[in-house]
A and B are shown apart, each in its own frame.
Chain A
Amino acid sequence: MILHASGLSLPGRLTEASLDIAGGELVGLVGPNGSGKTSLLHALAGIGRPSGTVLLDGVDPRTLSPAQRPAWLTYLPASRDVAWPLLARDLIALGGGGSSVAGLDLDALLDRRVDTLSTGERSRVLIARALAPRPKLLLLDEPTANLDPLWQIRLMERIREEIAGGGRAALVAIHDLDAAAHHADRVLVMDGGRIAAEGLDGPHVAAIFGVERVSGRWREADRRSSP
């Protein structure tokens, strides 16, 4: 197992979450707004003093120094704001893994200031920051938000490529259920601050999300059919 986590809690946001992720796995994380996706990523990344156990390859990442940490895990927040007008290459380098990443078409962006980039371009730069240290575990909060359809596909394939070969894994929070089902090896479903279910087949989808798939399209679930 790359990741073994158990009993992870953040007061008021996340309750007793336990999960294991194997090397090479791309795990999708879905759930309604406020269901705890970001909180689970936070707890795994050591943000906000979570309680519970996190082991990466048997090591508690909280015992690692800031210099070591990026090689073990990186976290991409959902926000694309950057407070200071840094050059893209400098921003990527602040993540601790060099200043360039292949496969994100960054060449034209590296020498531009991040405040002059479009939101989608800035997203790619911030994603590059998380990928650059080649960590064992990638924790990505809505990496495809703000990206155009082509880049949404390219990025998920890029993440897949990144963790291929075994020793690395990714946990990716995502809103698009189809994209989650398509790109992820398995999908965890969050609800009310807990990991409530696994997979996107079954009555729990309508119960948790209030939507159901009818002849290939998602629509609001018929309330009578939900348990």
Chain B
Amino acid sequence: MSWRAFLPPLLAAAFAASLLLPLAPLLGLDRGLAIAVLVELRLPRALLALAYGATLAASGAAIQALFANPLASPDLTGTTSGAALGAVVTAYLFGFAAPVALSLGAVLGALAALALLLALAGPKAETATLLLAGLAISALAGALTTLALALAPSPFAFYDAYDWLMGSLIDRSLDQAAFAAVPGVLTILLLLRHGPALDRLALGEDVAQSLGDDVVRLRVEIVCLTAFGVGACVAICGAIGFIGLVAPIFARRLTRGHPGRAILPAAMIGALLLSLADLAVRLAPLGRTLPIGVVTALIGAPFFLWLVAHMRWRLRS
């Protein structure tokens, strides 16, 4: 399989570019300061882009395999908005400076959203049901988040939260990056373990059970794992959309359609996409920095529309 050969070098190149570009400010500084900029500013940002992108994409691949639906993803199923709501409520109670509480709140929010989705749409939901339930959960979580912000004690807190909600990798410390990256990488590793079972699930839930898979347990584990990984990343970087939808779709082209086997390439493609989006944010000559969530949405939303049009036949059935 050729992707094994070309994805890692691409990732390495994107990581190097994240550290070094733009080059001009680095060259203008003295050596010590340049290293400080690299380690304190650009390294956490580059690591976060890789870890968050990979986590979103691996989670997306697993959720799509679980729901047997290429349109399921952390953002379209409401997981991301649930995590954001959990984090905002926690921040409301404890402030943005408590990363453990924030992460915990986001994970719980994500878990609640996914549990609600399973309850509303069921494990084998048709595309339309799944998307409508996801939409309803996103809308509810979004409204509650806005409500929490509107009741915020100070306009300063409101601005902080708004900035964070748009999704951003900027100005995070190495410690904060670790708070997202460690749960993220752990999630990906544990999801990879379920790859073969998720492939067998492509034969249908009944057949998977007849082959000895505990499908109920698989479902619970995938839901908890993705909530854990996505929640932890959302707590640090806010909500970033569409990576979890798009990357698995490309990844399955590299695994001849196998949904479980696609988790690893999806993680790599997700890391690559978010790194590239961050580079685009950084290098765009706009005079100010765009929130990265806006960039992924601007590219991802048209792709999503194309996808929906492309599979209308599936929506009908």
Contacts and interface: CB of A to CB of B under 8 A. Distances in A.
A86 interface: yes
Nearest to B261: A90
B257 A96 contact: no
B175 interface: no
Nearest to B65: A84
Contacts of A90: 256-258
Q: Is the interface of A mostly helix, strand, loop or mixed?
A: loop
Interface stretch (B4-12, B36-44, B197-205): B197-205
A118 to B, nearest CB: 16
Interface of B: 68-69, 196-197, 199-200, 202-204, 206-207, 209-213, 252, 256-259
B130 to A, nearest CB: 13
Contact of A84 (B210, B213, B257): B257
Interface of A: 42, 45-48, 64-66, 68-70, 73-75, 77, 79, 81-87, 90-91, 94-96, 113, 129, 139
A86 B257 contact: yes
Nearest to A87: B256
B192 to A, nearest CB: 16
A66 B212 contact: yes
Contacts of A139: 210
A91 B204 CA distance: 11
A155 B212 CA distance: 26
A86 B256 contact: yes
B209 A46 contact: yes
5 contacts: A46-B209, A66-B200, A68-B212, A91-B202, A96-B211
A75 B207 contact: yes
A99 B203 CA distance: 14
A130 B121 CA distance: 30
A70 B206 contact: no
A84 B207 contact: no
Contacts of A46: 209-210, 212
A83 B68 contact: yes
B256 A69 contact: no
Given A75-B207, A90-B258, A95-B211, 20 more contacts: A46-B209, A66-B196, A66-B211, A69-B210, A73-B210, A74-B211, A75-B210, A77-B206, A82-B204, A83-B69, A83-B202, A84-B68, A86-B202, A86-B256, A86-B257, A86-B258, A90-B257, A94-B202, A95-B203, A95-B207
Nearest to A130: B207
A74 B210 contact: yes
A42 to B, nearest CB: 7
A96 B68 CA distance: 20
B212 to A, nearest CB: 4
A77 B257 contact: no
Contacts of A95: 203, 207, 211
Contacts of A64: 212
Nearest to B197: A66
Contact of A45 (B196, B199, B209, B258): B209
